[in-house]
Amino acid sequence: MNGSNSIIKKVYLRLKNVLSSLLNKTCELCLEDNFDEGFLCADCENSLPQSQSRCQMCAIPLLSPGYCGQCLAHKPAFDLSHCNFNYGAPIDSWLHQLKDQRKTQWAQKLAQLMLLNPPPFLTEVDVFTFVPSTRWSLIKRGFNPGELITRELGRKLNKPVIAKLAKRSHGSEQKNLNRQQRINNVHKHFHSAGKQLNHQHIMLIDDVMTTGSTAHTMATILKVSGASKVSVWCFARTPKH
Ligand SMILES: [Zn+2]
Ligand SMILES: [Zn+2]
For 62-112, the three-class secondary structure string (H helix, E strand, C coil) is ECCCECCHHHHHCCCCCCEEEEEEECCCCHHHHHHHHHCCCCCHHHHHHHH
Query: Measured in angstroms, how far is the CA atom of residue 82 from the centroid of ligand 2?
Result: 11
Query: pTM to 2 decimals?
Result: 0.85
Domain count, the chain: 2
Judge if 77 and 188 occupy the same domain.
Answer: yes
Please give the residue range of the domain that contains residue 17: 1-47
Residue 27 Cα to ligand 1 middle (Å): 5
Q: What are the residues whose beta carbon lies below 5 Å from ligand 1 (ion)? A: 27, 29-30, 41, 44
Please tell me the number of the ligand nearest to residue 28's CA.
1
One domain for residues 14 and 59 = no
CA dihedral 53, 121, 202, 211 (to 10 degrees): 0
3 state DSSP class of 205: strand
pLDDT averaged over the chain? Answer: 89
Instruction: Looking at the structure, tell me whether residues 31 and 57 fall in a common domain.
Output: no
Q: Are residues 103 and 191 in the same domain?
A: yes
Residue 222 belongs to a domain with what CATH number?
3.40.50
Could you tell me if 69 and 18 lie in one domain? no
Residue-level pLDDT, tens digit, the chain, 241 residues: 566 778 887 787 677 556 556 666 899 999 988 888 889 999 999 999 999 999 999 999 999 989 999 999 999 999 999 999 999 999 999 999 999 999 999 999 999 999 999 999 999 999 999 999 988 889 999 999 999 999 999 999 999 999 999 988 876 566 666 666 666 666 778 888 888 899 999 999 999 999 899 999 999 999 999 999 999 999 999 976 5
In a shared domain, residues 7 and 111 = no
What confidence tens digit (pLDDT) does each residue in 84-135 have? 999 999 999 999 999 999 999 999 999 999 999 999 999 999 999 999 998 8
Residues with CB under 5 A from ligand 2 (ion): 55, 57-58, 68, 71
Q: How far is the CA of 43 from the centre of ligand 1 (A)?
A: 6
State in Å: Cα 38 to ligand 1 middle.
11
